[in-house]
Copies of this chain bind each other. A is one copy, B any other.
């Protein structure tokens, strides 16, 4: 989907986004979730900032009821640390009992022209993206991955759902025009089919499902929730997280290679990207020592907070030391680069092993 929040450039006004999209701030629900499980760092650190109907998931965890988490991946390229945020949320819910569903949308890659040839996206899905997902630590038998055009139930489900909406509804939400291809129009329904697929009969029928999703993708969520009610499914829940900043500024994007670190980047390349990153520091070392830095607008601190440091106390010390001017950007970059290198070396080993396990994670049709 090509929808962007207008102000997704560096600083995003998340308060405004909450109002605009009509989602719910996370705080109240977080108190309840805290009582039934140990929160993941993404929750503890305010990275997840809003939701829809997350209480259905809290209840499922509390009452040990069946539920699922679903997050889609676009296989137009290898995964980066922005994608990892979604997978980390899926793992959090998986550790709390959820089955994980991951549709790989080779159809989306193609109809929105992110790849020239759908077969490239399909190959990339099986050869790179799925091994990467496995290497990130999703559990066998509790993870169900499928490539959108290769799991025939998806098209059939999309056909079923398609009669619940009209072209004008799609147009109102996504702003299509006459030059839009029928594949783009229909993909709106296919993504809804992805979102509702964990509730198919073969997976035990209607159940709570949570979808970690970008706030800019919320129109799809609204559509899915509308159609769910009309089709005998439960309304899916959703969570929204803050974007990770791009290393060279703005929002992280997979199409600007120096702006993102990819899971398959070599440790050396990743180190270079971090050492050159735009930080929240300002002016000379002297000035920064005097005035302190701004970790709240720092791409390197984003990596530490979102990905590289588990220990809250350690992270807090870094934050405070930056603020007070005791810690300069060089030190943070060096630490981030070291942690990143360790992560990537380990990930690479896991990735090699994961390549033989693809079949164990795929949905096999009956």
Interface members, chain A 133-184 (any B CB < 8 Å): 149-152, 154-156, 158-160, 162-168, 170-171, 176-184
Residues of B within 8 A of A113 (CB): 163
Q: What's the least CB distance linking A261 to chain B, in Å?
A: 31
Give 1 or 0 for each of A109-137: 1 = CB within 8 Å of chain B CB.
Answer: 01101000010000000000000000000
The count of residues in chain A whose C-beta lies closer than 8 Å to any C-beta of chain B is 37
Give 1 or 0 for each of A228-255: 1 = CB within 8 Å of chain B CB.
Answer: 0000000000000000000000000000
Task: Please measure, in the bound complex, the distance between the C-alpha atom of A171 and the C-alpha atom of B176, giving whole angstroms.
Answer: 14
Give 1 or 0 for each of A288-325: 1 = CB within 8 Å of chain B CB.
Answer: 00000000000000000000000000000000000000
Chain B CB within 8 A of A271 CB: no
Q: What's the least CB distance linking A114 to chain B, in Å?
A: 12
Interface members, chain A 78-98 (any B CB < 8 Å): none
Residues of B within 8 A of A171 (CB): 178
Residues of B within 8 A of A185 (CB): 167, 182, 185-186
From the candidates B110, B155, B165, name the one contacting A182 in the complex (CB within 8 A).
B165
Chain B CB within 8 A of A107 CB: yes
Contact B182 A186, beta carbon cutoff 8 Å = yes
From the candidates B150, B179, B180, B189, name the one contacting A183 in the complex (CB within 8 A).
B189
Task: Please measure, in the bound complex, the distance between the C-alpha atom of A186 and the C-alpha atom of B151, giving whole angstroms.
Answer: 18
Given A167-B176, A176-B167, A182 and B162 touching (CB < 8 A)?
A: yes
Interface members, chain A 37-68 (any B CB < 8 Å): none
Task: Please measure, in the bound complex, the distance between the C-alpha atom of A183 and the C-alpha atom of B185, giving whole angstroms.
Answer: 9
Chain B CB within 8 A of A72 CB: no
Residues of B within 8 A of A184 (CB): 162
Q: What's the least CB distance linking A109 to chain B, in Å?
A: 10
Chain B CB within 8 A of A188 CB: yes
Residues of B within 8 A of A150 (CB): 152, 156
Q: What's the least CB distance linking A189 to chain B, in Å?
A: 5
**Chain B CB within 10 A, most for which of A155, A164, A171:** A155
Residues of B within 8 A of A179 (CB): 166-168
Task: Please measure, in the bound complex, the distance between the C-alpha atom of A196 and the C-alpha atom of B170, giving whole angstroms.
Answer: 28
Residues of B within 8 A of A183 (CB): 158-159, 162-163, 186, 189
Residues of B within 8 A of A170 (CB): 182
Task: Please measure, in the bound complex, the distance between the C-alpha atom of A152 and the C-alpha atom of B151, giving whole angstroms.
Answer: 7
Contact B189 A159, beta carbon cutoff 8 Å = no
11 contacts between A and B (CB under 8 A): A107-B155, A110-B163, A118-B159, A150-B152, A150-B156, A151-B152, A154-B155, A162-B182, A166-B178, A168-B179, A183-B186
Smallest CB-CB A-B distances: 9 pairs:
A162-B183, A168-B178, A186-B186, A155-B155, A149-B156, A152-B152, A107-B159, A162-B181, A182-B186
